[in-house]
Chains A and B, each alone.
Chain A
Amino acid sequence: MAASVVLGEALALGLASGPACIAACGPVLVPSLLTERAGLRPNARYLSVFLAARLLGYMLFAAAAWELGALVSLPPTPRVLVMGAVNVLLAGVLIWYAWSARSLCGHSCAGEKLVNIEGTKNRRAAGPAALGLLTGLSLCPPFVAAGVRAAELGSVAQALLFFFFFFIGTSVWFMPFISFGCIARNEAVITVARMAMALIALYYASLGIAMLIGRKVYGY
């Protein structure tokens, strides 16, 4: 099969899977983006780092799985353990992110004024990078669909290229998130985003721990 056809297929698969990717990454991406500075440029920068780290996560997972010969048939037990560990790590990063965001409104939280965000340098790259990497490592349904197709290709290089084009296709759907830069950041927005991150972190933590101790997630 011509390489261009396969890569076109990856791109189409990515474009078609975009809404599912947004749904899977939304709980992490939206509140963390809301704690960034207002403005299209900072939000575009955040999204670029997040997506680049997510791509790295994809590639790492694909390469490791290929080497283990388990891209498609990863046994359920290790898969659940990996997912559990990723979820616990994700919860940890979210909590750290929510905690570190408390300094963002330090100067103006007492009033309704817009926030002058200071001291964000250390979290500007590390935060979105960690979150992007961990969401990239999560086995979301679109990722599995791409993995199944990539496993049919002849070499690890082709599989990685397939994942890259799949990633490009899904990333188109993330572009509207740059518009979050137009939302004014005041005390209310930052606090809501921080509280939401903490809640989502609790969810991921309980999900991850449940997976690690081998329990069903739901009570039915």
Chain B
Amino acid sequence: MATNAQSPRLARPEPRGIGWSLLLTLPIAVWALLMLFRPGMDTDPKSRIAAALTALFMTALFFMMMRTGNTYRWRRLFFVSVGVLFPVGFIYNIVSVRGTMGIPVEEMIAGRTPFCFMPIPLLILPAALTRKLVFPGSIGPGGGASGAGMAAMVGIWLAMTLVLGKGWCSYACFFGGIEEGVAAIPARAKIRKIDPRWRHGPWAVLLAMVLLSLALFEPAYCMWLCPFKAVSEYIAARNLIGLFQNAIFVLLFAGLVIVLPFLTKKRTQCSFFCPFGAFQSIFNKISAFEVKIDKERCKPCVLCQNACPNMSLTRESIARGETLMSCMKCGACVDACPRQAVVWHIKGTEIAWKPERARLMFLYAAWAMAIMFGGTIIYGGVATILHFIA
């Protein structure tokens, strides 16, 4: 094996030189400028400033990833920014267009619901059986509040998912950042022992919601269980049941996105509840990139297991040299390992085959997607804030 031929690297690698890091960052800088100054973006000075700040922010984070060799810390900065700024830009837009955060049934029937990736798994069975989408959005160009149309958005999601698998949940999801930010606040977890059976929660929610969506012919998760309705657009409550639905959204948000991440230092909504995350886990099986554990180097200290925000490492999986299929490829375990036994890996190659090259290839794909989705969201949030400040 190649691992036997190499001596174990116990020390952290030296930081890359500034010049070499800049060179590696150059493609990302170009991509950021292309995405944030593309035709169709607002051209007023405040929007230009927001676009420039966002491009600079995304490029600087990537540069730091290249320079320090650390992935998680810089990715988290980006991810928390997306999570915090998403409601700012989104709510402002929705209120500007509609006058309220509540979505009435007339808007749903008109297909003016903004696209969201969450109901994608819920659409499949009804579409297969009836050739109809149960999500109230337009499929063609110009459809939905974003104007992109669902077909284009689902196409982009599929392409990125095939490449990154569940990496989507760490680089593209615009919901997970809030809980990741909350989880970063306390120095220590107050709840350390979590029953591992809760890890099956997302699969249970997925199963229940897929079946109910088929039975009710509506995206049941959006109607009843989405915690992020609390910070995006809720159901316009016109009676007691509507109030009940919104109470569920708020309670789930408070519990899974605020309180539990604070107590456990884990992304509890992602780990125990999110049905889309469970769905994305399936694609981890076919995605080219994964995180592996070099058993030759690993001295099971479980630092990686403790660092994982998603409970995707167990003693058994570490012994097998792999993460669980729920791994979000956030890089926390890779950065936490003092022996560099946890590595980025390209399927089909030997485990110790140039892990830094695997990391780079993954990060280029992931950061390109991050700029496309998250960058646009950060831009929207910053532009909104500048609008209010000026």
Binding site for B on A (CB under 8 A): 19, 23-24, 26-27, 30-31, 109, 112, 187-188, 191-196, 198-200, 203, 206, 210, 215-220
Within 8 A of A (CB), among B177-217: 197, 200-201, 203-205, 207-208, 211-212, 214-215, 217
Question: Is B200 touching A203 in the complex (CB atoms < 8 A)?
Answer: no
Tell me which of B197, B239, B316 contacts A219 (CB under 8 A): B239
Residue of A nearest to B207 (CB): A196
The one of B103, B208, B215, B242 in contact with A31, judged by C-beta atoms closer than 8 angstroms, is B208
Known: A193-B207, A196-B208, A199-B204. A24 touches B215 (CB 8 A): yes
A26-B215, A192-B203 given. 15 additional CB < 8 A pairs?
A: A19-B129, A23-B215, A24-B215, A112-B316, A187-B197, A191-B200, A195-B200, A199-B204, A199-B205, A203-B208, A203-B212, A215-B239, A218-B242, A219-B237, A219-B242
Nearest 10 CB-CB pairings of A with B:
A219-B242, A195-B204, A220-B105, A199-B208, A27-B211, A196-B208, A196-B207, A196-B204, A192-B203, A191-B200
> In B230-244, which residues have CB < 8 Å from any A CB?
235-244
Across the interface, do B129 and A200 meet the contact criterion of CB distance under 8 Å? no
- Inter-chain CA distance A114–B73, complex, in Å, is 40
Other-chain contact of B241, A23, A198, A216 (Cβ < 8 Å): A216
Instruction: Identify whether the interface residues of B are mostly helix, strand, loop, or mixed.
Output: helix
Give the contacts of B220-258 with A (CB-CB under 8 A): 220, 223-224, 235-246
| Total number of B residues with any Cβ neighbor in A under 8 Å | 35
> Chain A: interface secondary structure?
helix
Asked if B104 is at the interface (CB within 8 A of a chain A CB), the reply is yes
User: Given contacts A23-B215, A188-B203, is CB(A220)–CB(B208) below 8 Å?
Assistant: no
Q: How far is the CA of A192 from the CA of B206 in the complex (A)?
A: 9
Task: Contact check, B236 vs A220: say whether CB atoms are below 8 A apart.
Answer: yes
Specify which chain A residues have a CB less than 8 angstroms from the CB of B203 in the assembled complex.
Answer: 188, 192
Q: Is the CB of A192 within 8 A of B236?
A: no
Does B108 belong to the interface (CB within 8 Å)? yes
Decide if B235 touches A219 in the complex (CB within 8 Å): yes
The answer to whether B200 and A220 have CB atoms under 8 Å apart is: no
Residues of B within 8 A of A220 (CB): 103-105, 108, 235-236, 238, 242
CA distance A200 to B212 in the complex (A): 8
Residues of B within 8 A of A218 (CB): 105, 223, 235, 241-242, 245
Query: Is there contact, CB below 8 Å, between A30 and B207?
Result: yes
Q: A27–B108 Cα gap in the complex (Å)?
A: 25
18 contacts between A and B (CB under 8 A): A23-B129, A24-B215, A26-B215, A27-B208, A31-B211, A109-B197, A187-B197, A192-B200, A196-B204, A196-B207, A199-B204, A199-B208, A200-B211, A206-B244, A218-B241, A220-B103, A220-B105, A220-B235
Residues on B with C-beta less than 8 A from A199 are 204-205, 208
Closest to B220 in A: A203
B residues within 8 A CB of A219?
A: 235-239, 241-246
Closest to B202 in A: A192
A191, B197: Cβ atoms closer than 8 Å: yes
CB distance from B57 to the nearest CB of A (A): 38
Once bound together, how far apart are the Cα atoms of A120 and B127, in whole Å? 37
* Cα of A220 to Cα of B105 in the assembled complex, Å: 6
Q: Once the chains are docked, how many angstroms separate the CA of A30 from the CA of B130?
A: 20
A112–B246 Cα gap in the complex (Å)? 38
Alpha-carbon distance between A217 and B212 when the two chains are bound, in angstroms: 15
Interface centre among B130, B215, B242, B244 (most CB of A within 10 A): B215
Which residues of A lie under 8 Å from residue B244 when comparing CB positions? Answer: 206, 219
Contact of B239 among A30, A31, A216 (CB under 8 A): A216
Question: Which of A188, A203, A216 is most buried by chain B, counting CB atoms within 10 A of its CB?
Answer: A203
* B240 & A192 in contact (Cβ 8 Å cutoff): no
Instruction: Report how far A202 CA is from B319 CA in the complex, Å.
Output: 39
Expressed in whole angstroms, the minimum distance between the Cβ of A210 and any Cβ of chain B is 5
The residue on A at minimum CB distance from B128 is A19
A215 and B241 contact, Cβ closer than 8 Å, known pairs A203-B224, A220-B108, A220-B236: yes
CB–CB A217/B204 < 8 A:
no
Kindly report which residue of chain B lies nearest to residue A204, judged by CB atoms.
B212
A85 → chain B, closest Cβ, in Å?
18
B239 and A192 contact, CB distance less than 8 A: no
A206-B223 Cα distance, complex, nearest whole Å: 13
A109 to B200, CA, bound (A): 13
Chain B residues with CB under 8 A of A198: 204
Cross-chain contact A195 with B129 (CB below 8 angstroms): no
Q: How far is the CA of A196 from the CA of B208 in the complex (A)?
A: 5
